[in-house]
A = this chain, B = another copy of it.
Amino acid sequence: MSGATGGRPADVSRTEHQLAPDGPALSPELRALIETGPMAHLSTINPDGSPQVTVIWIGLDGDDLVSTHMRENVKIRNIRRDPRVALSFDGPREPGNWINPYAVVYARATVEPSARIWELMDRHAKVYVAPDAELPVPEGTPPGFIVRYSVTRVGGIGPWVTHPAP
């Protein structure tokens, strides 16, 4: 898809500032779910068109949904080639429930090399690990990557769904 819409340059990193602010604002319900620290399943597309999935931390950076990454691994390279991703996460699981709420956030992802990942990861650790968790910022480590998600559609089951499942 990269390059397909409106002549996007092959180097996706250059389009970051165009892409990121496009999406609609996250609903309060979706923000609240994200702030509970759900394990987020990130689906990207491999060069051969097959799905690739990693389970990651996500969080809010102002109005944006973001994730942080230390290395330029498979998912980062996949996003650079095709920014269409899905982030899916469960709502709280209640015993006895037949239908468990969940969100599937379809988005265009952009990769930003950034030294701010340590600040964000430290903040996310307080949600995902423990309120007093602290991430020691390693000195002299190279900057990592922030992935920023411009939401195009929210599916799943729950008050955050923007379009019901087809």
Contact = CB atoms under 8 A, between A and B. Distances in A.
Contacts of A44: 51
A26 interface: no
Contacts of A73: 165-166
A53 B40 CA distance: 12
B55 A88 contact: yes
Contact of A86 (B43, B98, B106): B43
For the complex formed by this chain, how many copies does it contain in all? 2
13 contacts: A39-B90, A43-B43, A49-B84, A50-B82, A54-B104, A54-B165, A55-B102, A55-B156, A55-B157, A73-B165, A74-B166, A98-B125, A98-B133
Contact of A95 (B1, B52, B130): B130
A147 interface: no
A51 B55 contact: no
